[in-house]
Amino acid sequence: MIELDRIGKVCRGGKRALDGVSLTLGPGLLGLLGPNGAGKSSLLRILATVTRPSTGTLRYRGADAVASPDRLRRELGYLPQDFGVYPNLTAREFLAYLAAAKGLTARSARARTDELLELLNLTEAVRRPLRGYSGGMLRRVGIAQALLADPQVLVVDEPTAGLDPEERVRLRNLLSELAARRAVLLSTHIVSDVESTADTIAVLARGHLLRRGTPQQLTGELDGRVWELTVPAADVPAWQASWLVGRTARSDGGGVRLRLIAPAAGPGPAGAAPVRPDLEDVYLAAVHGGRPERDGPERQPSEREGAGRWR
């Protein structure tokens, strides 16, 4: 449905936000993972036709969507990371205004607005001005506006920011359901937002696409490379200096349990036990030790806070 081919973006001052990124997006949910500053928002703005790429092509249904963006814009819902509202309007008034801007009739706009307010658990606050909404409630309003025209392509940038755990689960389930009949691109820096819902994962860092594939494919690449080991707390800095260290946890005996990711399969350190890789391991291995994918549009592919480095 959508093809980004060797997309590059150079910002003011010459900083390169994206460098040769190629992705295809079809029905299903693609989770785009990467740290802050990786280029995720730049890529989403290009996909949403908000900004133009410096190099490369964007095609939608086979047509050049940079030169002729109207069809993609009509069929796309977009929630940017920085989403603004009119603070004196209620949620119903705000959504009705945007529905009119999208060309919905008054009758269909009312029905769609009511449906989305119910879906996103906003009915109790529907008569309150938006200036009194919490950050999480405003994110839900942003998701509602992205869904107003029942888009074929849904692009959401950090949609769970400010949501409590129950709301995060509810939103992830909603996006998973929506992806059954449309293309959904979810950009985030939190692995748990996509690990149970994404059909495909892409890892972006420093403007490069580092990994792409199904969750099973990506975790399979780390078989034989992930270990757990308990060490004295005083030894943790030395392990972090020589290994890529993921999660750490205090053990009952007073030591620290480390999750270690090796650069290649092979024997682990003395006393370490092999463990099954997960998407957090994939993310850390890609960002701290991956190499960019460079050629061809048909490239296929996580994040949570982590520490450690290669040496």
Say if CB 274 and CB 224 are below 8 A apart: yes
- The whole-model pTM stands at 0.85
* Distance (Å, whole) CA 229 – CA 226: 10
* Distance (Å, whole) CA 9 – CA 53: 5
* Distance (Å, whole) CA 107 – CA 29: 31
Alpha helices in 28-133 (DSSP H): 40-47, 70-74, 91-101, 106-119
* Distance (Å, whole) CA 270 – CA 268: 7
Ordered by start, the domain boundaries in the chain are 2-212, 223-276
Per-residue pLDDT of the chain (311 residues; tens, 9 = 90+): 899 999 999 988 888 999 999 999 999 999 999 998 899 999 999 999 999 999 999 999 999 999 999 999 999 999 998 888 999 999 999 999 999 988 899 999 999 999 999 988 899 898 899 999 988 889 889 999 999 999 999 999 988 877 888 888 888 888 999 999 899 999 998 898 888 889 999 999 999 999 999 999 999 999 999 999 999 999 999 999 989 999 999 988 789 999 999 999 989 999 999 999 999 999 999 998 744 444 433 333 333 333 333 32
- CA nearest to 157, candidates 294, 50, 42: 42
* Distance (Å, whole) CA 243 – CA 239: 6
Say if CB 145 and CB 98 are below 8 A apart: yes
- CATH code of 2-212, in short, is 3.40.50.300
Find tokens 């149970």 and name the residue. Answer: 196
What's at 77, amino acid-wise?
G
* Distance (Å, whole) CA 176 – CA 197: 6
SS (H, E, C) 196-256: CCCCEEEEEECCEEEEEECHHHHHHCCCCCEEEEEECHHHHHHHHHHCEEEEEEECCCCCE
